[in-house]
Structure 1
Amino acid sequence: MKSPSSSVRDILAANLKRERTRRGLSLSELSRLSRIGKATLSQVEAATGNPTIETVFSLSRALGVPISDLIDARHPEAVTVVRAAEAEVLSGEGVDLRALQRIDTGGVIVEVYDQQVRAESQQQSLGHAGTEHTIVQAGLLVAEVDGRRVELGPGDYIAFDASLPHRYAAPDGPVRSVLLLHYRSGQGEPRQNPHEARPPH
């Protein structure tokens, strides 16, 4: 698994502290909400930890904020070009995500990611804020949402309520896809997911 670069750690540390402070949450309270150990959260805020996709998604869910609020440095330009070799990689159990763009259109936020599911691996999520859209570019992607299994090939598209538990798998080789997450104002409020049966990694 690839480790996030120091810049990702620094950005996440600053954004996490800002969002936690804004909500008046202690590290202990955030630990309870996110199911992430207090010591781990302390390391993340100090930019000394090694945060994974699972960590970021759990924090997004607990704080009720879009994922990009935690990992985006926000430097808007008139023309935005993101070079593949320069994009920061955030890795999880079976997925490597590269954040390409955050689009805020006043009330609606769209996050654009390059998503690669590693061969013979899977990525599970207990759920997080927003609506998730995935467009497969190459490979066979198996998606399971709240118990429903779907196989997707190049050009296929799936969308679902991201608060539902979901899983991506690449049984036949690596999968390249575009992941879009979109949120409406107030959509990211923290809530209990009845499907949560185990703590995130």
Structure 2
Amino acid sequence: MRTEPYEGSVGDLLAANLKAARARRGVSLSEAARLSGISKATLSQLESGTGNPTVETVFSLSRALGEPISALLEPHPHQGMTVIRAAEVAPLVGDGVDLRPYGRIESAGLLCELYDQQVRAGARQESPGHVGTEHTVVRSGVLRVDVDGVRVELGPGDYVSFDASAPHAYSAPAGPVRSVLFVNHRADAKAPADAPH
């Protein structure tokens, strides 16, 4: 078995994968801009690897192209062992979270996406909803989770799972939070175009 470290930035991965996803779907840059609500100039920068993608940007592109988030962020598969060092993966930055994509597991038509999620102290990350089920395990801190009007607070070792199509938010009222986020769904599932993350 060989070990191959992960190399490249999130921006580099998105650049290559975004072009490939548009080609697979037969979507022009102008059409991708219209569907995602992201300017054509910004998309051009993202595809050239010079843009600065955010969590919100990647979620919008995922919805617009009907691709899993991980398909836009994962390196091409190879034989052997994959090693991803946290220090080598630049996070996607959102309004309230830093999200490091670590990969996806696909089996029997099901897809599970794996992320290291850090919620910044006093910050809140909202989502109107998207395809799949979210599973979160808190590693440190106190995580507040709001799902469709219901609120829970979780501490280290606690777990929550919910239908991600419902409006939801993560926040860290008492300091930063480290958690592991899994999103699973059918591999062929598509988010509705009017339900941005």
TM-score (norm: length of structure 2): 0.86
| Structure 2: gaps of 5 or more residues | 1-6
Distance 2:165 2:38 in 1: 18
Match of 1:16 among 15, 18, 22: 18
Q: Does 1:191 align with 2:192?
A: yes
Alignment match, 2:157: 155
Alignment match, 1:80: 82
Moved >4 Å (runs of 4+): none
Q: Which amino acid aligns with 2:58?
A: V
Distance 1:18 1:86 in 2: 23
Q: Residues 1-201 of structure 1 correspond to what in structure 2 (within 5 A)? A: 7-187=9-189, 189-193=190-194, 196=195
TM-score (norm: length of structure 1): 0.85
Distance 1:192 1:74 in 2: 27
Sort the Cα spacing of 1:28 and 1:163 in 2 relative to 1 into closer, same or farther, 3 A: farther
Secondary structure of the corresponding residue to residue 9 of structure 2: helix
Q: Deviations over 1:84-125 (max 9, x none)?
A: 322332221111112223212231111211111111111122
Sort the Cα spacing of 1:113 and 1:77 in 2 relative to 1 into closer, same or farther, 3 A: farther
State the Cα RMSD in Å. 2.1
Sort the Cα spacing of 1:132 and 1:76 in 2 relative to 1 into closer, same or farther, 3 A: farther
| Structure 1: gaps of 5 or more residues | none
Q: Which amino acid aligns with 1:27?
A: L
Percent identity between the aligned chains? 60
Shift of 1:185: 2.6
